[in-house]
Structure 1
Amino acid sequence: MSEQRKNAAAVVSSNNLKYAGAVAILLAGAGLLAGCTSKPPAAPPPQALPVTVVQLEPTDVPISGEWVGTLDGYVNAQIQPQANGYLIKQNYREGSQVSKGQVLFEIDPRPFQAALDQALGQLAQAKGQVAQAQAQLDLAQINVKRDTPLAQARAIAQSQLDNDTQQEAQQKASVQSAQASVAAADAAVANAKLNIGFTHVRSLITGVAGQATLQVGNLVNTQSILTSVSQLNPIKAYFSIGDSEYLALVQRARAGGGDLLKNASAVPLTLTLANGEAYPQKGHIAFVDRQINAQTGAIRIAASFPNPGNVLRPGQFGRVKAETQLRRNALLIPQVAIQELQGLQQAFVAGPDGKAHLVTLKLGPQVGTNWLVEDGVAPGAKVIIDNLQKLGEGTPVAPHQGPPVAPTSQATTSAGR
């Protein structure tokens, strides 16, 4: 009996072990199933990218046009002789300043002196003929005065008085003819003196004289060009502008209370020299052509610039700039913030949601290191100016304020840049 109990206890123990193993397997399977169905932990949100922004504020921006100009003398005079002959002297130094009336060249005066002496002789002869004719007229008048009462008293024949009267008339005509000869001889003398004066070739203006084209010993005539003299202070700069730019200049001048020609301060001009330096003297418009060139659509304008010391010379090139309008409440965006993609200008702005947003811009003229914005952003927008390569649409950003945008120079809109 005891053995049966032992066998039964062994069977129960074996069954308990099998049951415990099955429970363990079930628990392990449940653990595996629970592990397969649980969610992974959520990824942390991306950190905001630190960026520098500038806030766009409305400002007044002057818009200017710039054109290539050619300098020329304010007055250019070609020096030509008014007498024929040989050059015997040059009285100026080439490239030097000369004054109005200064003798630059001398022509051999001897033929003209001989002509003057001959004219003086003819004048003296004509004056002698006048004196002789006047004496004969006086005698004829005396005869008429004496014979008139005698003829009335029938003491002499009437025919004698008629002859005396006719003789008086003839002598009056002789006197008039002699006086005309004197006038002609006097004019010949004046002309001869003028020709002698022409042997001294003078400058008609004050300016800088150029190189002599003919030298001493050359035979010259009235068609010969001896040199040129240019008035350089002030000096002119010629340039051409388009029709729309011309109208903008006119409107700008009217806004200043004048017009292009009468009010020099209405449209002040600046000149940039070939070396990139700004000429210190301001200019004004001195000449506007009467019409616009139908082929080019441009009109020619001349600007006048003071030129003390004759620093500027004819033939030089420069860039003439004029303020054409003043854009009120304009927005300027830094050039570093602009990205170009497929012909579009774009920029990132920091939105109120703390994210970067890409906007498409319509840009106007450049103003120094900035661009004038026509459309695409509103006043107060915060434009991002750094870390642009790391940005994308919706990128979280941590903006901090940069220096404000300010125009550093006038906007330039000319096609002649």
Structure 2
Amino acid sequence: MLLRLTLILPVVLLVACSQEAPPPRVVEVVVDEVVSEPYQPKSEFVGRLHARDDVAVQAKVTGYVQTRDFKEGETVETGQVLYTIDASEYEAALARAKAGLASAVANQANAARNFRRGKELLPQGAISQAEMDNLTAKKLEADAGIESANAQVTSAEVNLGFTTIRAPFTGRIARSAVSPGDLVGPNSGNLTTLVSIDPIEALFQVNEAAYVAAMAERLDNARGANPEDLQNVEVSLRLANGETYPEIGHIDYFSNRIDEATGTLEARALIPNSHALLVPGQYVRILLQETDLVEGLFVPQAAVQADQQGSFVLLVDGSNSVVRHNVELGARMDQQVLVKKGVEAGDRVIVRGLQQVRPGMPVSVRSLTDSSESGDNQVATEGEDA
């Protein structure tokens, strides 16, 4: 019996070895090519709107408010009267100053006549040198009196002018803190405030990494890295309700240093606001877009995956094997993603069948265009679910 088993076993092994193992199943994947296309670089920041001009209206002279000549919350024009203060006291002061000037003019005329007579009499010995010196001093004193009187008149005119308070620029005025009959003065605080509306400023902070990346991108595209060139980008606003403001603005200011506490660079954009739709203090999202087109590499969003090492895509190389490439991503444009590093134009990235493959596996390839034309999307979907 043992001899029979010894003879049969080699025969069985020989038969088993003669049967070839079945070939491994080759997974079919759908691929799309990395393409190089022109695009307009975009970036988004959070900001607040500020008035370009913002002043507190105050009284410079003391007196009772006679009139308030504006409607609270309305737009006022440059030079428009806002308040009038009782001017009777300042009109009287101006009259006194003018009278003082007239007296000084008369005194000067008399001193000038006496000085001329003295000059005629001095050579004849009719007056002494001391008397001539006295006449000279009086003339100089009278001349100085004219200057003082003129200054008094100017001061009185200025104070009288302060009794009419006018808008320094065109803008929207706030609620009035005083009413006709109130006593106001330099220590009364703000009577109201006035802010300019058109254009309006959008202030935002650019973090250091974003600023460095923008400069590096401009160098990579041979556009130069002068920060002043960034003022040529278009600025649009997205409001709190998600709507995009229709007017396009431009950047007019970058800070000359990065804030050490926050690690950000302050920037400011000017936005047209002719219809006064925007108001200071409003929260907005600020969208920056380059006016010049630059070339970039794009892959479908469906091809991008992420793990602990970061973002990556799976490629199919020339031998139809799966290869992993780590990538550095940029902005998303519709269904495409900008890739800054990790791929080249023409690379075949897997967009369907990702769940069934691993780096190093052989695959059969179908292009995304062929898959779409054949309508065989269901096979790919079922393969992913598997």
Q: Give TM-score scaled by structure 2 length.
A: 0.74
1:100 aligns with 2:65: no
Alignment of 1:118-267 (within 5 A): 118-137=96-115, 140=118, 144=121, 148=124, 161-163=126-128, 166-223=130-187, 224-249=189-214, 252=218, 259-261=226-228, 266-267=232-233
Partner residue in 1 for 2:43: 65
Shift of 1:51: 5.9
Report the CA distance shift for 1:363/1:135 in structure 2 as closer, same or farther (over 3 A): closer
Partner residue in 2 for 1:315: 281
Q: Partners of 1:354 and 1:58 in 2: how far apart?
A: 23
Letter of the 1:241 counterpart: V
Q: Partners of 2:173 and 2:222 in 1: how far apart?
A: 41
Letter of the 2:48 counterpart: T
Report the CA distance shift for 1:399/1:189 in structure 2 as closer, same or farther (over 3 A): same
Question: Any conservation in 2 of the 1:69–1:318 contact (CA below 8 Å)?
Answer: yes
Letter of the 1:402 counterpart: T
Question: Any conservation in 2 of the 1:346–1:358 contact (CA below 8 Å)?
Answer: no
Which SS does the other structure have where 1:58 is aligned? strand
Q: Partners of 2:364 and 2:135 in 1: how far apart?
A: 120
Partner residue in 1 for 2:260: 294
Q: Partners of 1:390 and 1:255 in 2: how far apart?
A: 42
Report the CA distance shift for 1:260/1:103 in structure 2 as closer, same or farther (over 3 A): farther
Partner residue in 1 for 2:369: 402
Report the CA distance shift for 1:133/1:273 in structure 2 as closer, same or farther (over 3 A): same
In structure 2, stretches of 5+ residues that fail to align are 1-10, 371-386
Report the CA distance shift for 1:301/1:45 in structure 2 as closer, same or farther (over 3 A): same
Which SS does the other structure have where 2:331 is aligned? strand
Which SS does the other structure have where 1:101 is aligned? coil
Which SS does the other structure have where 1:309 is aligned? coil
Which SS does the other structure have where 1:310 is aligned? coil
Q: Partners of 2:226 and 2:311 in 1: how far apart?
A: 38
Q: Partners of 2:87 and 2:99 in 1: how far apart?
A: 18
Question: Any conservation in 2 of the 1:133–1:171 contact (CA below 8 Å)?
Answer: yes
Partner residue in 1 for 2:336: 370
Q: Partners of 1:104 and 1:264 in 2: how far apart?
A: 41
Shift of 1:197: 0.1
Report the CA distance shift for 1:171/1:354 in structure 2 as closer, same or farther (over 3 A): closer
Partner residue in 2 for 1:18: none
Letter of the 2:100 counterpart: Q
Percent of matched pairs sharing the same residue: 28
Q: Partners of 2:249 and 2:148 in 1: how far apart?
A: 53
Letter of the 1:235 counterpart: I
Partner residue in 2 for 1:81: 59
Partner residue in 2 for 1:282: 248
Query: For the pair shown, which has the larger CA radius of gyration, 1 or 2?
Result: 1
2:238 maps to which of 253, 272, 292: 272
Q: Partners of 1:390 and 1:170 in 2: how far apart?
A: 116
How many pairs align?
355
Letter of the 1:214 counterpart: V
